[in-house]
């Protein structure tokens, strides 16, 4: 038997406008979620985890992956009571494992989680995508945040373009841009005012990428042995986008970063969320190579596509159309799963979720929508990926 990926769907909990009962109709077998109502740094108790787990199971689904167990900012900067916060983190890991949830996704991006400048970029077919635009980011940085150093960091040409961009924005568009960046996209957990954001950025004044990488390795040295003894697969999510924003360090962006993280702590429990959209934004990232190199420690997959231009601006695209060769990636995943079967490994069906979807059809105009997480856009993505996978699996069967 050729194993297929475990199809999952991100659900934001009882507040999510898409109920569990609908998710079953999408072809997803499992749920990816988190206890979003618990503030970063607090322990997730067994009771709270079980309550959510039962809710999912009562709807005939399974909670396959936690996304995310958020890492508190004080752990990232190694300040204040970060050791206690790490103890809390480990306790949440133990509790999740006691409840039978053993795959945990997390990220190590400073201050911000994933970032986009527009949540409603209109495509030619009148659907809507998420977008990351450098002029918009720089306009925000220079003229809304007014970060002084930014004027020294950007080139003259970049500043001119940002100014032009900023000048043509209406007041409403400026507020929208600010909100998109500071209010946190779904799953980001943190929301900032301009002042608070500035304060948070300042904390990184003396933390360059080398220091930040050390902090990450320190954290991993403390949690991975714990993951190992609790049978947990930790899967770090790559930076999204995979480069520094507002001069903040980002250290999970490319093959070199991943190499360092996995070389330092080689246990298989120190794993990766292979996110095609995040890694795929950088033309320097060779997804095939990254997949091959870290295949055995890929415990969770986000499939998403993007189209980027020469300046690095990108928009999210249909899953089978874009810079990421989805066919090649899915083929690689299936081959990795086949190799896990031959090695008698238990994790032969890697959980995968269609990451984001465009707003299409009846998604459009709905007020209550998590950006990137509309029902029909993701349903389309999942259906396309399932078809692609079935085709590949059948063609391998016919060959053998
Ligand atoms: C965006 C997501 C991120 C991701 C976290 C993982 O859609 O991929 O929110 O969940 O960065 O920790």
- Each residue's pLDDT tens digit, 43-101: 999 999 999 999 999 999 999 999 999 999 999 999 999 999 999 999 999 999 999 99
Q: Exactly one of 237, 240, 319, 363 is catalytic; which is it?
A: 237
Q: What is the pLDDT of residue 398?
A: 81
Q: Exactly one of 275, 299, 319, 363 is catalytic; which is it?
A: 275
Question: Looking up tokens 């009562």, which residue turns up?
Answer: 58
| Catalytic residue flag (residue 302) | yes
Ligand 1 center from residue 395 Cα (angstroms): 33
Q: What is the pLDDT of residue 397?
A: 84
Query: In whole angstroms, how large is the CA radius of gyration of the chain?
Result: 21
| Catalytic residue flag (residue 167) | no
261 in a structural domain: yes
Residue 301 CA to residue 219 CA, distance in Å, equals 23
Count up the domains in the chain and report the number. 2
Question: Is 347 found in the same domain as 243?
Answer: yes
Residue 108 CA to residue 117 CA, distance in Å, equals 21
Question: Is 154 found in the same domain as 15?
Answer: no
Mutate to test the pocket of ligand 1, among 71, 111, 184, 187 (most ligand atoms within 8 A of CB): 187
Question: Is 344 found in the same domain as 269?
Answer: yes
Ligand 1 center from residue 187 Cα (angstroms): 6
* Ligand 1 atom closest to 240 (CA): 11
* Ligand 1 atom closest to 278 (CA): 8
pLDDT mean values, one per 10 residues, the chain (400 residues): 96 96 96 97 98 97 97 97 98 98 98 96 97 98 96 97 98 96 84 94 96 98 98 98 97 98 98 98 97 98 96 96 98 97 93 98 93 97 98 89
In degrees, rounded to 5, the angle at the alpha carbon of residue 78 between the alpha carbons of residues 73 and 81 is: 85
Residue 326 CA to residue 324 CA, distance in Å, equals 6
Pocket of ligand 1 (CB under 6 A): 67-68, 105-107, 113-114, 187, 237, 302, 355-356, 372
Q: Exactly one of 132, 192, 356, 363 is catalytic; which is it?
A: 356
* Chosen domain end from 143, 174, 197: 197
- Helix axes of 287-294 and 255-264: crossing angle, nearest 10 degrees: 10
Q: What is the pLDDT of residue 393?
A: 97
CA 125 to chain centre: 27
| Catalytic residue flag (residue 37) | no
Question: Is 259 found in the same domain as 110?
Answer: yes
* Chosen domain end from 156, 175, 197: 197
Question: Looking up tokens 């009846």, which residue turns up?
Answer: 362
Ligand 1 center from residue 134 Cα (angstroms): 20
| Catalytic residue flag (residue 226) | no
Tokens at 182, concatenated: 């500071």
Question: Is 191 found in the same domain as 219?
Answer: no
Tokens at 161, concatenated: 């373009």
Domain span at residue 189 reads 118-197
Ligand 1 center from residue 275 Cα (angstroms): 9
Q: What is the pLDDT of residue 399?
A: 78
Residue 68 CA to residue 186 CA, distance in Å, equals 11
* Ligand 1 atom closest to 355 (CA): 7
235 in a structural domain: yes
Question: Is 222 found in the same domain as 133?
Answer: no
Q: Exactly one of 72, 299, 302, 319 is catalytic; which is it?
A: 302
Q: What is the pLDDT of residue 256?
A: 98
Q: What is the pLDDT of residue 184?
A: 73
Residue ID of nearest Cα to ligand 1 atom 3: 114
Q: Exactly one of 74, 135, 141, 355 is catalytic; which is it?
A: 355
User: How does pLDDT run across 190-212, given as a tens digit for each residue?
Assistant: 889 999 999 999 999 999 999 99
Q: What is the pLDDT of residue 190?
A: 83
Question: Is 338 found in the same domain as 382?
Answer: yes
| Cross-strand pairs, 17 | none
- Which pTM does this prediction carry? 0.97
Contacts of 363 (CB under 8 A, 6+ apart): 357, 369, 374, 375, 376, 377
* Chosen domain end from 163, 197, 231: 197
Contact call for residues 273 and 142 (beta carbons, < 8 A) = no
Residue ID of nearest Cα to ligand 1 atom 2: 114
57 in a structural domain: yes
221 in a structural domain: yes
3-state secondary structure of 103: strand
Question: Is 316 found in the same domain as 251?
Answer: yes
CATH of the domain at 247: 3.20.20.150
330 in a structural domain: yes
1 in a structural domain: no
202 in a structural domain: no
In degrees, rounded to 5, the angle at the alpha carbon of residue 309 between the alpha carbons of residues 325 and 318 is: 45
Question: Is 182 found in the same domain as 145?
Answer: yes
| SS3 labels along 122-158 | ECCCCCEEEEECHHHHHHHHHHHCCCCCHHHHCCHHH
289 in a structural domain: yes
Tokens at 291, concatenated: 């997949």
Question: Is 257 found in the same domain as 192?
Answer: no
Q: What is the pLDDT of residue 50?
A: 98
Q: What is the pLDDT of residue 172?
A: 97
Question: Is 186 found in the same domain as 268?
Answer: no
Question: Is 101 found in the same domain as 123?
Answer: no
């Amino acid at each position: 038997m050729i194993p297929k990926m475990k199809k999952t769907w991100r659900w934001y909990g009882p507040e999510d406008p898409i109920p569990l009962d609908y998710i079953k109709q999408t072809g997803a077998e499992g749920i990816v979620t988190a206890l979003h109502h618990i503030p970063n740094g607090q322990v997730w108790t067994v009771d709270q985890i079980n309550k959510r787990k039962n809710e999912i199971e009562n709807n005939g689904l399974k909670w396959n992956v936690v996304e995310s167990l958020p890492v508190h900012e004080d752990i990232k900067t190694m300040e204040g009571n970060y050791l206690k916060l790490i103890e809390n983190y480990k306790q949440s890991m133990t509790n999740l494992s006691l409840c039978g949830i053993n795959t945990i996704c997390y990220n190590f991006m400073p201050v911000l989680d994933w970032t986009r400048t527009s949540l409603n970029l209109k495509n030619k077919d009148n659907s809507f995508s998420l977008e990351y635009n450098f002029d918009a980011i720089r306009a925000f940085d220079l003229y809304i945040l007014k970060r002084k150093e930014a004027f020294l960091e950007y080139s003259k040409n970049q500043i001119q373009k940002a100014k032009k961009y900023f000048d043509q924005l209406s007041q409403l568009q400026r507020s929208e841009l600010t909100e998109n960046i500071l209010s946190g996209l779904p799953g980001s957990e943190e929301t900032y005012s301009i002042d608070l954001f500035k304060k948070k950025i300042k904390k990184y004044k003396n933390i360059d990428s080398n220091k930040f990488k050390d902090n990450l390795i320190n954290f991993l040295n403390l949690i991975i042995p714990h993951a190992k003894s609790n049978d947990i697969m930790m899967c770090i999510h790559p930076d999204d986008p995979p480069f520094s924003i507002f001069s903040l360090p980002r250290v999970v962006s490319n093959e070199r970063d991943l190499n360092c993280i996995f070389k330092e702590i080689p246990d298989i429990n120190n794993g990766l969320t292979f996110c095609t959209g995040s890694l795929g934004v950088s033309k320097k990232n060779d997804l095939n190579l990254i997949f091959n190199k870290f295949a055995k420690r890929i415990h969770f997959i986000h499939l998403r596509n993007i189209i980027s231009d020469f300046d690095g601006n990108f928009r999210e695209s249909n899953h089978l159309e874009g810079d990421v060769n989805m066919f090649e990636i899915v083929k690689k995943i299936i081959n990795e799963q086949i190799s896990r079967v031959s090695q008698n490994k238990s994790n032969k069906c890697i959980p995968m979720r269609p990451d984001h979807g465009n707003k299409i059809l009846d998604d459009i105009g709905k007020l209550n929508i998590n950006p990137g997480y509309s029902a029909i856009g993701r349903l389309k993505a999942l259906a396309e990926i399932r078809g692609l996978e079935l085709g590949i699996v059948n063609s391998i069967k016919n060959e053998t």
